[in-house]
Chains A and B, each alone.
Chain A
Amino acid sequence: MGRVYDLYAGQVYALAARVTRDAAAAEDVTQEVFVHLWEHPTAFDPERGPLRGWLVMLAHRRAVDCVRREEARRRRDRISADYALALPDIADGAVTGVLGERVRAALSRLPDEQRATILLAYFEGMTYRETARTLGIPEGTAKSRMRLGMQRLAGLLRAEGIRP
C-alpha cells in the first residue's frame, strides 16, 4: 500500500488539486482514492488497464463530485457567465503541470473547439450541459465535440505509442 501510494499519490493529488482548486479537498480526494483501493482490492481489474489509469479515473470522478457538490451550493448565487472568464488553456501552467508532454502535444493538434470542450469538462469538472452553456453552444454540439475530440485524441495517442 505504501509503495502504491509512493508511485501514484503525486498524480492523484495533482489532478485533484487542479480540478478542485483546493488543497484540503485534494487531500480528501487522495485519501478517498487510496482508502477505496485498500477496501475494494477486487474493484481494480487488471484486465481492463493499468492501475495508474484506474486510480486517476477514480481521483477524477471524486474530484468532480467534490466540485459539483460545491457548485450545487453556489450555483443559484452565481451566473453561469462567470465561467467564461475561466476557460482553461493548455498553455495555462496549472493544466500543463498535470498534463503529460505527449498528451499535451496531442491535445494541441485537436481543433480548438474540440479541445475547449474537453478541457472545460475534464479540468473544470463541468458537465457537458455546463460546458455548452459556458461556450454558448447547444448541448448536442458539446456532446459531439467531446466524442469526436476524444476519439481523435485516442487515435493520436495510439499513433504516439501511448496505450489507448
Chain B
Amino acid sequence: MSAPDGHDRVGEILGAWALDACGPEENRLVAAHLAECGPCADEARLLGAAAAEFTESTESATGSPAQGAQAPPVLPASPSPAVTAGPQPHRLPPPRLRATVLAAAFARRRPDIPAAVAPYAAQVRALDRLLDALPPAGWQTRVAVRDWSVHDMLAHLAALDGVLAAHLGVAEAMLPPSTPDTSTLDGLAALQQRTAEVQAWSRGQQPARTRAAWRAQAAAMVAAVAAASADLLATRIDYGEARWRIDQVLLARAFETWIHTEDIRGALGMPAVPPAPEHIDQIVDAAMPILEGMMAASRFSHPDRAARIELYGVSGGEWTVRLGPGLPPATPDVTLRLDMLEFCYLFGGRRDPEGIRYDVSGDRRLAADLLTVAAGNPHD
C-alpha cells in the first residue's frame, strides 16, 4: 500500500501524526515508513517528544509536583478566539482510583500471548465460558445456521481451526484424521468436507469430548503461535478460496469464532457480546484485503475504482478498498460510513445488504455492489 513517494506523504503529516491527529490508515502508513526511513524516524522522535512535553513535566519543572493545583501564572491572552466552555472535570484523579487501577493490573496475568493470536485466544475463551454455562440439554439447541445444533457448531469450528493447526505443526490428536484428498477439491469445498468429517465424528461423541478436543487444539495453536517466528506467521497457506498469510487466517478464525459464539448466544436468547475494540480493529484490518479479493473475483468487480469505508462505533477507522483489478484512483469513487459492528455482522453473513444502514457519498451503485459482495462472504 505504501507508494514509492511515501516519503513526501509521510513527511507532510508528521506534525499531525505527533499530535495523534491522523486517521488509522495514515498512522499505519507512517509506522511502515518510519521503520525504513532514518531521517523521518528522527523527526518523528523529535516531534513526538515535544508533544509529550505538553503535560507538566515533574522532571524538568522544578518543584512542581505532578498534582500541583496552584494557579498557573497568567499569560498574555493570545488574539485567537477564546475560550473553551463546557464542563471541566476535576484535574486530580480521585484517591480511590489508585486501588482500582492496581487491582485491575494485578488481576491480569502478564501475558505471553502475541498480538497476532490475541483476538483468537480471547474469542476461544469467550466461547468456552459460554459453554461452561450451557446445561446438558443446551448442546442440542438449534442455531440459526444450516439447522446445526450447538454441538455441530463447535465441531465446525474445531474442523476449520484444524486446517490452520496443521500449518502450525499442531497435531489434531483428538479429532478424526483428515482424509487428505483435497487435491480435487477447490478450497471452499475442502473446508466444507472437513466440517462434515468432524461433525460426523462428533455426533458419535459426548459433547464434552468435542469441546475438549476443540479447546485443546485451540490452546496448542495459541502456544504454537507464541513460539513461532515472524517468518512463519507471514507464510501463505491455502485457506478457503485464496492463499492468505497465517496471521490473517488467525484473525479469520477469531472472526468466525466470534460470529458463531453470537449465533449460539442468539439461539439461547442471550444478548451479543462483541470482542474488545482493539481486537475488532485487527479483525477488520484482516477482513479488508479479503473483501478486495472477493470484489476482484465477483461479477460486481469495478476495475480502476476504489471505495473508502469509514467505520465508527465500538472502535473505528478508515479503509480504502479497491473494487476491482487495475489502478485505484487517487481519490475514492465513493465513501461509505457505517457502524463497525454492523459491518462485521454483514461481512459475517449476519445482515442483509439491503437492511443495513449506511451513509454514502459518491457513486451509490458502487457502494451497493460492495455491500452485496461483502455480505456474500462464503460463510456458514
Q: Which residues of A contact B (CB under 8 A)?
A: 1-2, 5-11, 13-15, 17-18, 21-23, 26-27, 30-31, 34-35, 37-39, 41, 48-50, 52-54, 56-57, 60-61, 64-65, 68-69, 72-73, 75-76, 84-105, 108, 112, 115-116, 118, 121-122, 125-129, 131, 140, 142-151, 153-154, 157, 161-164
In the complex, are the beta carbons of B105 and A92 less than 8 A apart? no
In the complex, are the beta carbons of B100 and A31 less than 8 A apart? yes
B237 contacts partner chain A, Cβ-Cβ < 8 Å: no
Residue of A nearest to B312 (CB): A72
In the bound complex, how far is the Cα of B106 from the Cα of A85, in angstroms? Answer: 43
A124 to chain B, nearest CB (A): 8
Chain B residues closer than 8 Å to A52, beta-carbon distance:
52, 57-59
User: 3 tightest CB-CB pairs across the interface, nearest first?
Assistant: A147-B15, A72-B312, A146-B15
In the bound complex, how far is the Cα of B50 from the Cα of A14, in angstroms? Answer: 18
In the complex, are the beta carbons of A11 and B80 less than 8 A apart? no
- A14 and B91 in contact (CB under 8 A), knowing A76-B359, A150-B51? yes
Return the contact of B54 from the options A17, A31, A64, A122 (Cβ within 8 A).
A122
What are 26 of the A-B contact pairs (CB < 8 Å)?
Answer: A2-B98, A7-B66, A13-B93, A21-B87, A27-B94, A39-B108, A39-B111, A53-B53, A56-B52, A57-B51, A60-B51, A69-B313, A90-B78, A93-B71, A95-B84, A104-B72, A121-B16, A122-B19, A127-B21, A128-B13, A128-B19, A146-B15, A146-B16, A147-B14, A150-B47, A164-B50
Residue of B nearest to A108 (CB): B75
B166 contacts partner chain A, Cβ-Cβ < 8 Å: no
Interface bits B10-22 vs A (CB < 8 Å: 1, else 0): 0111111011111
Q: Which residues of B contact A (CB under 8 A)?
A: 11-16, 18-23, 43, 45-61, 64-67, 69, 71-94, 97-98, 100-102, 104-106, 108, 110-111, 312-316, 359
Return the contact of B16 from the options A56, A68, A128, A154 (Cβ within 8 A).
A128
In terms of DSSP, what is the predominant structure of the interface of chain B?
A: loop
Chain A residues closer than 8 Å to B45, beta-carbon distance:
48-49
A131 to chain B, nearest CB (A): 7
Residue of A nearest to B97 (CB): A27
In the complex, are the beta carbons of B60 and A57 less than 8 A apart? no
B117 to chain A, nearest CB (A): 15
A133 to chain B, nearest CB (A): 12
Chain B residues closer than 8 Å to A2, beta-carbon distance:
98, 102
In the complex, are the beta carbons of B66 and A10 less than 8 A apart? yes
Residue of A nearest to B96 (CB): A27
Chain B residues closer than 8 Å to A11, beta-carbon distance:
55-56, 58, 66
A30 to chain B, nearest CB (A): 6
B110 to chain A, nearest CB (A): 6
B23 to chain A, nearest CB (A): 6
Residue of B nearest to A154 (CB): B50
Residue of A nearest to B79 (CB): A112
Question: In this complex, which of B57, B65, B93, B105 has the most chain A Cβ atoms within 10 angstroms of its Cβ?
Answer: B93
In the complex, are the beta carbons of B60 and A38 less than 8 A apart? no
In the bound complex, how far is the Cα of B92 from the Cα of A157, in angstroms? Answer: 26
In the bound complex, how far is the Cα of B93 from the Cα of A26, in angstroms? Answer: 8
In the complex, are the beta carbons of A87 and B15 less than 8 A apart? no
Residue of B nearest to A162 (CB): B60
A109 to chain B, nearest CB (A): 11
Return the contact of A98 from the options B13, B90, B91 (Cβ within 8 A).
B91
In the bound complex, how far is the Cα of B48 from the Cα of A156, in angstroms? Answer: 14
In the complex, are the beta carbons of B93 and A30 less than 8 A apart? yes
In the bound complex, how far is the Cα of B89 from the Cα of A53, in angstroms? Answer: 23
- A147 and B12 in contact (CB under 8 A), knowing A10-B66, A48-B45, A89-B77? yes
Chain B residues closer than 8 Å to A56, beta-carbon distance:
52, 54-55
Residue of B nearest to A149 (CB): B15
In the complex, are the beta carbons of A92 and B312 less than 8 A apart? no
In the complex, are the beta carbons of B85 and A86 less than 8 A apart? yes
- A35 and B101 in contact (CB under 8 A), knowing A100-B60, A153-B50, A164-B46? yes
Chain A residues closer than 8 Å to B111, beta-carbon distance:
39
A126-B21, A128-B19, A146-B21 given; 16 more Cβ-contact pairs under 8 Å: A9-B101, A15-B55, A17-B90, A39-B105, A49-B52, A60-B20, A85-B85, A89-B84, A94-B84, A99-B56, A100-B64, A121-B20, A128-B16, A129-B23, A150-B51, A162-B53
